[in-house]
Amino acid sequence: DWTPGHVVDDLVESIREQVGEDRVLCALSGGVDSSVAAALVQKAIGEQLTCVFVDHGLLREGEAEQVETDFVEATGVDLVVIDARERFLEALAGVTDPETKRKIIGEQFIRVFEQAARDIVHDRGDEQHPVKWLVQGTLYPDVVESGGGEGAANIKSHHNVGGLPDDLQFSLIEPLRTLFKDEVRQVGLELGVPEVIVWRQPFPGPGLGIRIIGAVDADRLAILRRADAIAREELTRAGLDRDIWQCPVVLLADVRSVGVQGDGRTYGHPVVLRPVASEDAMTADWARVPYDVLATISTRITNEVEEVNRVVLDVTSKPPGTIEWE
Ligand code: XMP
């Protein structure tokens, strides 16, 4: 019988067997998957776990703070925060190809982790129990879509599965790799992870880096962050969070169109709203967000984000579109 309680018991037991007395690091992103994975491992091995949150600068507004305060308060995990924003921006400078972006972000991520592991071992002087394990919140659909499943095509390199360097210095613990998202949420609730985290919509590991079509830089990130915050705020205000699987906001950074504002001509960028309905992200339909909600989002974004003069709606299902544009 599938119950969240049984799943938790089984996973806790196998995590304990797997790691023994070793130290474990967890890649915390603030999303549902890594949060539930961390809570699960925390339940299994408690103080042997250190969570590391890499601020790669590709996060949405308020996300770093939510991890640094909300999650830590709720779970009591040991958290190390690493500010790697400059490093990621430098590595991504001028890169436009989606798979190259994903590989760069994934690789930087692992390098930062490896350094964190060395620092943690060094700081604690606990050479007998080196950090051997890295927890990742990989789900079943990630495994399949990164080509890990039998006969699956490599559609995108999800940065928590594909794109890992060959000389990786950790062994992976992926306790959620047989589960779908709805199952992960049930497991999270069973573990006492707060509902605001359990019900958070999915957000990709490479973050806003794959929602800027074109090269990523600090200015473009700031534009997208503001537009995204407005869209999220209005969707929440309309009570649509649980009806919509997620709503990527995508900045077409290399596209410009002519507009008019007040008495003047504008020549700004479009953003795309990509609201989708889905069960498991393997397939999706475009979500029928009410027109008045779309109108409010469009008006606010074009009024409040100076560089954006056009808001367009993506009405493509998956397949043939993927949810993210890159
Ligand atoms: P696509 O774009 O492939 O996305 O239809 C399916 C789901 O996966 C999320 N996504 C990712 N999640 N690392 C993640 O953890 C990634 O690299 C990644 N890429 C896409 C996407 O937001 C959607 O929910």
**ipTM value of the model?**
0.99
Task: Give the atom of ligand 1 at the shortest distance from the alpha carbon of 245.
Answer: 24
- The pLDDT score that the predictor gives to residue 51 is 93
Using CA atoms, how far apart are residues 144 and 153, in angstroms rounded to an integer?
A: 8
- The pLDDT score that the predictor gives to residue 166 is 54
Nearest-CA residue for atom 22 of ligand 1: 204
Q: Quick check: CB of 246 below 6 Å from ligand 1? A: yes
* 273 in Cβ contact with 211 (< 8 Å): no
Q: Is 30 exposed, middle or buried (0-12, 13-18, 19+ CB in 10 A)?
A: buried
Q: How long, in residues, is the chain?
A: 326
Token couple for 171: 């062994």
Token couple for 134: 């890295």
- The DSSP call for residue 20 is T
Domain 211-313 top-level CATH class: alpha beta
| Residue-wise DSSP of 140-179 | HHHHHHTT-STT-------TTTTT--TT--SEEE-TTTT-
* 252 in Cβ contact with 224 (< 8 Å): no
Can you give the residue ranges of every domain in the chain?
4-198, 211-313
Q: Quick check: CB of 48 below 6 Å from ligand 1? A: no
Token couple for 7: 């799943």
Q: Is 193 exposed, middle or buried (0-12, 13-18, 19+ CB in 10 A)?
A: buried
- The DSSP call for residue 59 is P
- The pLDDT score that the predictor gives to residue 152 is 44
Using CA atoms, how far apart are residues 18 and 52, in angstroms rounded to an integer?
A: 20
Q: Point out the residues of the chain with pLDDT beneath 50.
A: 149-152, 161-164
Q: Quick check: CB of 137 below 6 Å from ligand 1? A: no
Nearest-CA residue for atom 10 of ligand 1: 204
Using CA atoms, how far apart are residues 88 and 110, in angstroms rounded to an integer?
A: 12
pTM of the model: 0.85
Q: Which fold has domain 4-198?
A: Rossmann fold (3.40.50)
